[in-house]
Amino acid sequence: MPLNQNQIADFRAALIKMKQDINKRQGANDEFDLKSDFFHESMGELSSYDNHPADEGTELFEREKDIALHQHLDYELEKIEAALASIEKGTYGKCIACNKEIPLERLEAVPETLYCKEHSPDQTISTNRPIEEGVLMPPFGKFDMDEQDENVAYDAEDSWQEVAKWGTSETPSDLAVPSEHYNDTYIEYDENVGYVEDYENFVGNDMYGKNITVFPNDQHDKYEETLDEEGIMTSFGDLPAFEHDAYVDDDK
């Protein structure tokens, strides 16, 4: 049913009060202090030169939040002004998209609306996300190559592990249950970098895949010790029976 004059008067009063509240909030916070030229002026700083980068980042985030809140209030104010204008024109209560009566329950909940539920422009949640999320999504975004088969590329995780060796905020003293070794405080510290299997770090061949050579180093010694402890001949397990004798027979 169309709105009667008393209902329209009530909605007009509610809209005017909403407008006054927004203007009062904007005045109380000095337009979120957005009249300053630079965000450090809102902190009473003459310059941001001597501030720590982390503090600068925090203040920049707060500035961005102020801008978002200010834009939200401006958007609400625009909708209220449009609703008051529609009352003056005598079209308030009708959807401007389909010209059907807007249900009274909807107007009571959202008095500034000019649309019915079906044609509301705000009913769709935007899926637009900051472009950097495609790169920085946890843990290392698209620069984490570990999930790719046989990939030994130096990726973002490897970069983190390299710098984590020199210390992180998660030192043993910061943990509820301290680790036995400092390396245990950062992820996959013992991951092979540049090779997949341990033996690939000390076994090589020529460009034709021949002349296989073992290059003695610390990794080779550790590899041999591990095999001796396990009592096996390769990291894949013991050799098949027909090859086993050839390796253990002293005469051969």
CB count, 10 Å around CB of 21? 13
**Domains located in the chain, CATH noted:** 5-109 (1.20.120.910), 201-246 (no CATH)
Which of 10, 4, 5, 11 lies closest to 114 in space, CA to CA?
11
Walk along the chain (252 residues) and give the pLDDT tens digit of each residue.
788 899 999 999 999 999 999 999 888 877 777 776 666 666 666 666 777 778 778 888 888 888 888 899 999 999 999 999 999 999 999 999 999 999 999 999 999 999 998 898 877 777 777 777 766 666 666 667 766 666 667 777 778 777 777 767 666 656 666 667 766 766 676 777 667 777 788 888 888 888 889 888 888 888 888 888 888 777 766 656 555 554 445 554
Q: Determine phi and psi for 237, rounding to 5 degrees.
A: 115, -175
Q: SS3 for 141?
A: helix
CB 196 within 8 A of CB 152: yes
Residue 107, Cα to own-chain centre: how many angstroms? 37
List the structure tokens of 56. 């600068």
